[in-house]
Amino acid sequence: MTVFQKKQTDKRSASFKHSQGEKRFDKRSGDKRSSSKKFDEQSERRARPMSKPLVKKSVKPTASSVEVTEKKAKVVGEKLQKILARAGQGSRRELEEIIAAGRVSVNGKIASLGDRVQVSSATKIRIDGNLISLIPAQKEICRVLMYYKPEGELCTRSDPEGRATVFDRLPRLTGARWIAVGRLDINTSGLLLFTTDGELANRLMHPSREVEREYSVRVFGNIIDEAMLQRLRKGVQLEDGPANFKQIKTVGGTGLNQWFDVTLTEGRNREVRRLWESQGVEVSRLIRIRYGNIKLEKGLPRGGWEEMGLEQVNYLRELVGLPAETETKVDVTKNRRRTNIRQIRKAVKQHSKYRVKV
Q: Is the dihedral of CA 123, 124, 126, 130 positive or negative?
A: positive
Neighbouring residues of 7: CB distance < 8 A, sequence distance ≥ 6: none
The catalytically annotated residue of 185, 197, 240, 331 is 185
Indicate if 331 belongs to the active site.
no
Cβ 301 vs Cβ 166: under 8 Å: no
Spatial distance between the Cα atoms of 211 and 321, rounded to a whole number of angstroms: 12
Helix runs in 107-146, H state only: 135-138
Query: Which amino acid is it at 101?
Result: A
Cross-strand partners of 131: 126
β-pairing, 189-195 vs 281-291, is: parallel
Torsion (CA) 110, 103, 96, 149 in degrees, nearest 10 = 160
Give, in order, the Cα–Cα distances in Å from 351 to each of 111, 166, 189, 225. 38, 11, 16, 42
Give, in order, the Cα–Cα distances in Å from 80 to each of 1, 26, 86. 122, 91, 10
Q: Among all residues, which ones are annotated catalytic?
A: 185
